[in-house]
Amino acid sequence: MPQEKLTSLKEAIEMVPDGATVAIQNMATQSAPMAAVRELIRQGRTGLEVVALVGGIPIDLMAAAGSMDRFTGAAVSMEQFGLCQAYRNAVESGEIVVQELSETALNARLGAGARNLPFLPTRGLIGTDLIAINPDLVMISDPFGGLDVVACRALIPDIALIHCHRADRFGNLQMEPTAVWPDIGIMPKAANKVIATVEEIVDTEVLRNSPERTFLPGFMVDAVVEVPFGAHPTSFNPRYGYDTAFHHEWIAVARDPEGAKLWMERYVYEPDTQEEYLDRVGGVSRLEELKRWEITE
C-alpha cells in the first residue's frame, strides 16, 4: 500500500510558493488544469514563471490576475478565439517577460530537466533571432565534426499542474489514449513536484485493468485531487468539448480591467467549490452539451 496523495484543491495549491516556476499542461483550447489555475489565482499567488507548450485561457486569466511575471513556452493563443488579450497587454507593457522557445527547444529544456542533464541540443531555431536574445540557448560545436547545435539549458519547474482522467488515491495517473497532444510527455517528469487534478478517483484495481494508460506512477506525484470537469472551459477529450460561449464571454471583457475584474469575481473568486463554479457556467444542461462536443457554434 503506497503513500496516500489524495488531498483538497486548496491544500494541493498551497504547495505552490509565490515566485515558483509552474509548468501547466495546455494547448490553445485543450486540457488545461483550470480548476487548479483558478485556485492559484484565488490564493493570490504572485511572481510565478509559467511554463506551457501552447498556453490559452489559463495564461490569460493568470495574466489578468497578476499571478505571473514570466512566461516560458512556444506560443500563447486561444486558436479560433484569438489572442490572449490580458497576457498580450501585460507583455506589451513589460509586466510579463517572455522566454519564447520553439517546440523542440522547450522539449530539450524540459527533457534535460527530467534526465538530470545540464542541457540537450536541438537543430531548431538556427538562423532565427530567438537564440541571441536567450541566455538559456547557446550554439555549440559537435565534438564529432558535424553541424553545430543549439544547447538548451535544463529547465526544472518547481511544480507541474496537470489534469487527468483518473487516478487512485496514491497518485497513479491515467489518461485516455485520445488526449495525446498536451504536454504530459515530458513536463511532469521534469518538474520537482506534480499536482494533478482528475475527473475521478478510482480504486487501484481499476488502474490494474489498463496499466498501459498510467502515464505517471504515484511515487512521482505529490498531490491528487478529484475535480470533475476540472479542465472547463477547455476541452478534455474524449469527455467534453471546449466551451465556446464561455471563451467568448471572457474575451469580451479581457481588454477592460474593470470588466475583467467583475468576471473574475463571478467565476474565480466567488465560487467556493467546483460545484458552485459549474452551476455558474450553466449547470448540468450546459455540461451535457459539452459532453456531446457541440462546439461548432
Residues that bind a copy of itself (CB under 8 A): 116-123, 136, 138, 140, 142-144, 146-147, 149, 151, 153-154, 177-178, 180, 210-212
Please give the Cα distance from 146 to 246 (Å, whole number).
Answer: 51
Minimum distance from CB of 43 to another protein (Å)?
A: 26
Burial, 64: exposed, middle or buried (Cβ in 10 Å; 0-12, 13-18, 19+)? Answer: buried
Dist. CA 62–CA 20, nearest whole Å: 13
Contact between 32 and another protein per CB under 8 A: no
Q: Encode 39-58: b = buried (16+ Cβ within 10 Å), e = exposed.
A: bbbbeebeebbbbbbbbbbb
Segment contacting another protein (CB under 8 A): 21-29, 32-40, 157-165, 257-265? 21-29
Q: Which is nearer to another protein, 208 or 280 (CB)?
A: 208
- The smaller minimum CB distance to a copy of itself, of residues 142 and 256, is found at 142
Of 33-41, 208-216, 261-269, 280-288, the window that binds another protein (rule: CB under 8 A) is 208-216
Three-state secondary structure call for residue 196: strand
Q: Under the phi-then-psi rule, with left for phi > 0, alpha for psi from -120 to 50, and beta for the rest, what region is 259?
A: alpha
Burial 71-86 (b: 16+ CB within 10 A, else e): bbbbebbbeebeebbb
CB of 177 to another protein, least distance (A): 6
Contacted by 121, from another protein, a copy of itself, none: CB < 5 to 8 Å by type:
a copy of itself
Among 12, 235, 254, 268, binds another protein (CB under 8 A): 235
Is 140 a binder of another protein (CB under 8 A)? no
Site string for another protein, 97-136 (x = CB under 8 A): xx-xxxxxx-x---x--xxxx----xxxxxxxxx--x---
Q: Which spans in 93-203 are helix H?
A: 103-114, 187-190
266 binds, among a copy of itself, another protein, none (CB under 5 to 8 A by kind): none
The residue (of 144 and 258) whose beta carbon lies closer to a copy of itself is 144
Q: Which residues, in sequence order, are CB contacts of 192 under 8 Å at separation 6+?
A: 156, 157, 158, 159
- Among 12, 48, 162, 242, the residue binding another protein under the rule CB under 8 A is 242
**Shortest reach from residue 279's CB to another protein, in Å:** 26
One-letter identity of residue 151 = A
